Chain A
Amino acid sequence: MLPFLVRRLIGAFLVLVAVSFITYLIFVKIPGGDPAPRIAGRLATDQNIADIRQKLHLNDPFYSQYWAMMQSLFTGTLKSYSSQLNVVSEIKRGIPATLSLTIGAGIIWLGFGILVGVISAVTAGGLSDRVITVLALIGISMPVFWLGLIARYLFAESHPFSFFPDGEYVPLTQNPWQWFVHLIMPWTVLAVLSIGFYGRVLRSNILDTINEDYVRTARAKGLPPRRVLVKHVLRNSLIPIVTLFGLDFAAVIGGSAILTETVFNLRGVGQYAADSVQSLDLPPIMGVTIYATFFIVLFSVVVDLLYAWLDPRIRPT
């Protein structure tokens, strides 16, 4: 197990380096990517721009610039070109909102996804299966920004059903109840798409597994139907769901929650990333990229470990 882990971690580190380097190259080489004229402002002289280039070491070869940026990022001194704010502390400031949103939504979508998948598989072909199928397809088809705006319009603005506060993030430590109330809508909106998708995937997994010979063996042993379903069918059908969840969850933490964060103005990392990309502000982009890659790489290692734990056949011996 240990060599496996070491190998995976070395791989993860290399991925991190490669992703950051490629991102860096893309933003340095794209037209308009040069930050000096933007920092200098509209009325800048060539001399101003040259001074800024000198100050930011933009005339150095790009690999030493990359190295310098990585150094300042990991020592926590990297500053944004436009706002001059410290990148690491900005990301840190966004993390509680992003994690609150994603963890809550993750629990909801996994829980309801499993519930929906099991119900529709057990009643396959029946009425509730069909109703769930239609609902799932609707859920999958609704874009987050649209659903988010509709939800705000219906439940947060001056309507008879305005149960929920309209956007913003309240830290958990400040007021747990307000934290919860403020997050209910974002959680739901973010989870709806995945609930439908996970429900569909799990349904088909269960229907495949239920025809396996070992399920027949379990029934022939005289196990009660519920035990057959949970211990023999569900246990095996959930293995692919774990992979899916690990990777989706990492992607959401790493930035896929941008839309939800923006619609509900949660000021999380995703929103920070979106703002930085809009202004082509390289240091925050690099910071957020490393942050996102870190989570994705981390979760893929976790998924591998979970997978080995769930499925003895792929355990390294």
Chain B
Amino acid sequence: MARSEDQADVVSERLIEVNGLKVQFATEDGIVKAVDGVDFELQRGQVLGIVGESGSGKSVTAMTLLGLTRDKNTRFEGEVLYKGRDVLQMNEGELQDVRGNEMSMIFQDPMTSLNPVYTIGAQICEAIQIHERADKNAAKRRAVELLKQVGIPNAESRVDNYPHEFSGGMRQRAMIAMALACNPDVLIADEPTTALDVTIQAQIIELIDRLKDDFNSAVILITHDLGVVADVADEIVVMYAGRVVERANTRQLFYDPQHPYTWGLLGSIPRLDRPKQERLHSIKGTPPSLINAPRGCKFRPRCPHAFDRCIEEPRLENRVEEPGHLDRCWLSVDEKRRLREPTLAGTEEAA
């Protein structure tokens, strides 16, 4: 079952391609542009990190991949291709075949994401029985095996426990087992560690990373914490106000971040290798309204380096030597490299 990373790379295959995705919700207050032009790709065996604050559109993007944001008040633009098929165009029946089977999702709060009235086993079996037409006993055996794989001790007896008999970390492991039940190609983890203790967080991320190889799938890891994705992500997409502001492979993003918002995120991570600060730095201000977004660069009102040109919105394009490293900022590369240092060091307020 287990494959090494090299082998996984050999079968490299584009699983997901998102082009110009826009998601808008009609509300009483106006149109909420939750996602406003997002593009990314995901290869088999890859881990893609999507990073941003609350309200940056990262969860909506993830839910849209599974068609979970569909509603009569929702409008979509662009395309979400899964193995070349557009998820946005699929009917409800086709979507059901994809959900949980080819793409599955882990949610933020394991305390509320499991149905309290069914056993863990029953909830894992449900997906298996629906998608693989497996009989009850086969599904149960598979559920036990999955629980073992995600590191639940005494899986044989634990499988009959109810969610409230599990701790938070174990519930999230059970959620992962449930998501992997039908060998999905893509695992979407929406803030999988936010509700967990710090010690458990690392275990869960490590588990997701290991299982990705075991199941030969790809992972989209959504978080507001760059520290969480630093070790495991191959590529990182930074989102702000419904759009991608920077996209690069992980190493590149950490060593040569181009967008002031990314600097702010990096500067607000507490670090042991830097002198202790009086207090942790934060990005001043709040994310903009998604109904009446500011003109030009959406980060302009919070950006300390904003200048005249920012009234016009920059395109997401490659501005540095490294191909594939895209950003949305008018500052020249040299200026950026000069300006970002104090912010990254955390010695200056990010904004």
Residues of A within 8 A of B (CB): 212-214, 216-225, 227, 232, 235-236, 239, 310-313
Contacts and interface: CB of A to CB of B under 8 A. Distances in A.
A223 B68 contact: no
Interface residues of B, number: 29
Contact of B112 (A213, A221, A224, A310): A213
Contacts of A227: 130
Contacts, number: 73
B109 A312 contact: no
Contacts of A217: 107, 113-115, 175, 178
Interface of B: 66, 68, 92, 95-101, 104-105, 107, 109, 112-117, 119, 126-127, 130-131, 162, 164, 175, 178
8 contacts: A216-B68, A218-B115, A220-B105, A223-B96, A225-B92, A236-B115, A310-B117, A313-B164
A223 B126 CA distance: 8
Nearest to B162: A312
Closest A-B pairs by Cβ, 4 of them? A222-B99, A222-B100, A221-B100, A213-B112
Contact of A224 (B96, B114, B178): B96
A239 B116 CA distance: 12
A212 B109 CA distance: 11
Given A213-B109, A220-B100, A221-B178, A311 B116 contact: yes
B107 A213 contact: yes
- A-side interface mostly: helix
A218 B131 CA distance: 13
Contacts of A212: 112
Nearest to A315: B162
A222 B112 contact: no
Contact of A232 (B92, B115, B119): B115
A235 B109 CA distance: 21
Given A221-B178, A239-B117, 6 more contacts: A222-B96, A222-B127, A223-B126, A223-B130, A236-B115, A313-B162
A219 B164 contact: no
Nearest to B188: A220
A222 B98 contact: yes
Contacts of A218: 115, 126
B96 A220 contact: no
A219 B68 contact: yes
B228 to A, nearest CB: 20
A218 B123 CA distance: 9
